[in-house]
A and B are shown apart, each in its own frame.
Chain A
Amino acid sequence: MDENHKPTKKELKELRKLERMSATTSDSSEKVKWIILGLGITIFLIFFGFLVFMLKQNQSQAVFSIKNDGWVMGNKDSKVTLVEYGDLQCPSCKAYHPILKTLAVDYKDKFKFMFKHFPLGGHANALLAARAAEAAGAQDKFFEFHDMLFDHQEEWSGLSNVDAEAKFIGYAETLELDVDRFKEDLNNGDLLKKIKDQQSEGIEIGVNGTPSFFLNGKRIETPKSLEDFKKLIDEEAKNE
């Protein structure tokens, strides 16, 4: 009983003290408090609002010229181009892979799809995978290899570089590529430069994660479904 009583007494005392304090200083210090809060929030809102406003205004207008050096699928004469900056080891790119494949079939006359490399630093085998896909591309089987990599992503993403390379050579065999040439192209400096150039271009235009999509040079918020992709492409086709 006594022990229960003690803290309440102490608190009451504190409360009274507080009341006394605020009673003596309340008016002027309350005023100062509201001035600080008001001024702080106002400055904050003006600064932040200004930044967001400027960004929003620019965002809708930005059209980037993207080089045509990626691998292309679909109607090559179409005026609508969907560019993906992708990382072959990234799980969300894998998640988008079936959607894009279906899209490429359903809309094969309506747009062209371009894949560009953006291997992320955090993925140990991403660059190697990109080089392997390019090596397959040198034998005109880029998308076959690209599909293979996504379909079997969990098989190789956890491997060491050496083991992953062996895995990729196995895939090349499965796809009936010229394996000797494939091995050589894995270390091909020109192909590496192509990948790096695509990535630098991506960084230049603000790609910061994968997958990132650009529709006719305009950055689009990553669509959530096949239908969303179709809607965007239809809209773009109308505007062209």
Chain B
Amino acid sequence: MNKEIISFAIQSLATLVLLSQIFLVILGAFYLYSRVVKKNKVVKSVVKFFSDNALSFAFLVALVATAGSLFLSDFAHFTPCKLCWYQRIAMYPQIILLGIAAVKNDISVKRYVLPIVGVGAIISFYHYLLQMSPIPLPCTDEVANCALKQVAPYGYITIPLMALTGFVLIAVFVLLAARTSRK
């Protein structure tokens, strides 16, 4: 029974990640379209909706990512490896930073969020590379094996890829928020 609940949770998390990636692609396409081809009212209002509430969305991303990672370690009992811990360090404080920023409408939070997110994203990217590349990249961990893919729903969404998607989403939202403030 427990197994089913855990795999259901992981599947939901992976689906959320998949949807986020689709969302990012569509948003990117919208952006390019309005930039390169022409201004479009619908596109503009969609982008505006997300820009206006970008900090709130970024906060929710951090919330889900943190809860997801804690769920995987404390309920699904996956032991986090060293690289996982570094990513966690970059993700967890975002809840507080972005939470306060969202309530206070404080766009200047990007100065603090972006560097941390950048570091986290780099580590996630490396970790994902390490899992996916056939050449062994260094990560020595006595307790947990970094290269081990504990889960891989949809064939490619492993835990570090979930983290990377989270970091990219937060960065995109924070940049969107900063964009509206400039106008």
Contacts and interface: CB of A to CB of B under 8 A. Distances in A.
A193 B142 CA distance: 26
Contact of B53 (A21, A36, A51, A62): A36
Interface string B44-85: 000000001100110110011001000100011111000000
Contacts of A102: none
Contact of B5 (A41, A54, A208): A54
Contacts of A40: 56-57, 60, 63
Contacts of B20: none
A33 B56 contact: yes
Given A51-B5, A52-B75, A91-B142, A44 B105 contact: no
Interface residues of B, number: 33
Give the dominant DSSP class at B's interface.
helix
Nearest to A91: B142
Nearest to A92: B143
Nearest to A62: B2
Interface in A36-85: 36-37, 40-41, 44, 47-48, 51-52, 54-55, 58-59, 62
A47 B60 CA distance: 14
Contacts of B63: 40-41, 44
B97 interface: no
Nearest to B141: A122
Given A44-B67, A51-B5, A208 B79 contact: yes
Give the dominant DSSP class at A's interface.
helix
A55 B2 contact: yes
A83 B2 CA distance: 21
Contacts of A166: none
B6 interface: yes
Contacts of A209: 77, 79, 143-144
A232 interface: no
Contact of B64 (A22, A33, A44, A58): A44
Interface string A87-127: 00011100000000000000000000000000011100000
B56 A37 contact: yes
A29 interface: yes
A32 B53 contact: yes
A193 B67 CA distance: 39
Contacts of B6: 55
13 contacts: A18-B107, A33-B102, A36-B53, A36-B57, A40-B57, A40-B60, A41-B60, A41-B63, A51-B75, A52-B71, A55-B2, A206-B2, A209-B143
Q: Ordered nearest first, which 10 A-B pairs have the shortest CB separation?
A: A122-B145, A40-B60, A208-B77, A36-B56, A209-B79, A58-B2, A37-B56, A58-B1, A36-B53, A54-B5
Interface of B: 1-3, 5-6, 8-9, 12, 52-53, 56-57, 59-60, 63-64, 67, 71, 75-79, 102, 105, 107, 141-145, 148, 181
Interface of A: 14, 17-18, 21-22, 25, 29, 32-33, 36-37, 40-41, 44, 47-48, 51-52, 54-55, 58-59, 62, 90-92, 120-122, 206, 208-209
